[in-house]
Amino acid sequence: MSKTKGLIAVFTGNGKGKTTASLGLAFRALGHEHKVCIIQFIKGSWKYGELEAARHFSPLLDFHVMGRGFTWKSDDLDKDREVALEAWEFAKKTIHDNHYSLVILDELTYLPHYKMLDEKEIITVLTNKPAEQHVVITGRYASQELMELADLVTEMKEIKHPFKNGVKAQKGFEF
């Protein structure tokens, strides 16, 4: 006898493909006419392919780019923290309201890593999510506690990267 339940998946590690893997799950869910919400915590407002493609899946897909592109090279860490916490409040409400079969929290792992959000709060929200809802978390530095909570954990490991041979990020492949 098989059982079904809303799963928690974590895509982490230093290799590329974490967001791409989550988008593959989104595409699969959309194919079954399930509602999907993608919340991006880091990526800024630049134009990239997945955001452009998302427009074609309305009204089943809601795509929210809520970051400023903040990184360790930020020009304003206080603003980054403020924006990150606003995105987290939105994510908590989205999960709680239970309007989506799949919620993707892209690059969420960076918030506790950079001390913008206490990971205990993330664990509490995920532990109390609607039973049938799937949640995917992406980003480097996933903690042991987050990985233990998850039903599925995949670590992306970089073996080879074109950037090391001087090939810059290319439209349609990296963004």
**3-class SS of residue 95:** helix
For the sheet containing 102-106, what is the strand order?
61-65, 36-40, 102-106, 134-138, 8-12, 152-155
Active-site residue set: 14, 16, 18-20, 28, 70, 72, 107
Please report which helix (H) or strand (E) contains residue 113, including its range: helix 110-113
Q: Is residue 170 packed enough to be buried (19+ CB in 10 Å), middle (13-18) or exposed (0-12)?
A: exposed
- Six token digits for residue 106: 């892209």
